[in-house]
């Protein structure tokens, strides 16, 4: 077993959508598996809810050992990911070895060990330390004069200027891209027009109140193509499109 073996496995590329029929039973086992319906049946695409995802993950992975915890979230930028904590590292290793690159919910998943020890294991072995809450701070200096700041932005001297290209910050690849510092009048229709020509586009979510959008693709390769071609793309007289991989 490798030195970085842990009790928790990290699953990526989980499918968060299912195709179902209005005439189909609402049984979870049917909704998450391949089925056939008559040609007259109407099919709909729906999101997998978090409780459903956890239930199916437990059913799929509990055969490898005692599961202590399953963590998943259907929030947009965390979709397609899950963490499963086993009672022993041997159980986690067997699950990863058996299920890595196997198809779950109609999509091939990638599994690796989690980077950090889970809290539930840390509490059990006495190494638990409360995690520091992430504090979001203002990028602007508190003592910076507002008028000078505004002038630098208008003249293109500030690193947060929306009209000058920005270097791409190193981030782990993700099938979801984040667009930041969007203009206040940006619309979902505008973003759709920018990305509709790229293969693998699945969803676009605009959070207008924060001038942020998440653009999701079927896999990291498709997302990388869009990132390469659309980052720093001009979308208005005052704004470029600033893209990067969303945090996992």
In a domain, 180, yes or no: yes
How many Å is the maximal CA-CA distance in the chain?
68
Residues 20 and 106 in one domain: yes
Q: What is the pLDDT of residues 109-118, one digit of tens each?
A: 999 999 888 8
Out of 92, 125, 158, a domain closes at: 125
Q: What is the pLDDT of residues 36-62, one digit of tens each?
A: 444 444 555 566 777 888 888 999 999
Question: Which stretches of the chain are DSSP H helices?
Answer: 28-31, 50-61, 89-99, 119-125, 146-154, 188-195, 220-230
pLDDT score recorded for residue 149: 42
Residues 177 and 73 in one domain: no
In a domain, 187, yes or no: yes
Per the prediction, the chain carries an average pLDDT of: 78
Q: What is the pLDDT of residues 130-157, one digit of tens each?
A: 876 554 444 444 444 444 444 444 444 4
Pairing of strands 82-86, 103-104: unpaired
Residues 17 and 115 in one domain: yes
As a 3-state breakdown, the chain gives helix, strand, coil percent values, each rounded to 5, of 30, 25, 45
Out of 68, 91, 125, a domain closes at: 125
Give the global pTM: 0.50
Regions in the chain scoring below 50 on pLDDT: 1-4, 21-41, 135-159
In a domain, 53, yes or no: yes
pLDDT score recorded for residue 118: 87
pLDDT score recorded for residue 147: 46
pLDDT score recorded for residue 52: 84
The contacts of residue 146 (CB under 8 Å, 6+ apart) are none
Q: Is 148 exposed, middle or buried (0-12, 13-18, 19+ CB in 10 A)?
A: exposed
Q: Is 149 exposed, middle or buried (0-12, 13-18, 19+ CB in 10 A)?
A: middle
Q: Provide the number of structural domains found in the chain.
A: 2
What value does the CA radius of gyration of the chain take, rounded to a whole number of Å?
22
Which residues span the domain enclosing 231?
A: 172-245
């Amino acid at each position: 077993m490798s030195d970085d073996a842990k009790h928790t496995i990290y699953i990526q590329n989980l499918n968060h959508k299912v195709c179902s029929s209005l005439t189909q039973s609402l049984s979870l086992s049917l909704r998450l598996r391949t089925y056939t319906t008559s040609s007259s049946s109407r099919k709909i695409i729906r999101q997998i809810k978090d409780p459903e995802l956890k239930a199916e993950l437990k059913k799929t992975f509990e055969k490898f050992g005692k599961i202590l915890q399953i963590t998943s979230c259907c929030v947009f930028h965390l979709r397609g990911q899950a963490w499963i904590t086993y009672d022993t590292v041997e159980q986690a290793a067997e699950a990863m070895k058996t299920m890595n690159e196997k198809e779950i919910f109609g999509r091939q998943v990638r599994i690796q060990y989690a980077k950090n020890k889970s809290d539930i294991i840390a509490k059990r072995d006495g190494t638990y330390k409360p995690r520091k809450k992430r504090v979001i701070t203002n990028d602007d200096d508190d003592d910076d004069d507002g008028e000078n700041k505004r002038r630098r932005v208008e003249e293109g001297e500030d690193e947060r200027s929306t009209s000058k290209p920005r270097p791409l910050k190193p981030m782990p690849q993700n099938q979801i891209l984040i667009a930041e510092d969007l203009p206040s009048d940006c619309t979902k229709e505008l973003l759709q027009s920018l990305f509709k020509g790229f293969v693998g586009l699945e969803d676009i979510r605009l959070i207008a109140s924060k001038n942020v959008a998440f653009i999701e693709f079927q896999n990291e390769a498709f997302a990388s193509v869009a990132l390469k071609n659309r980052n720093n793309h001009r979308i208005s007289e005052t704004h470029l499109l600033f893209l990067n991989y969303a945090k996992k």
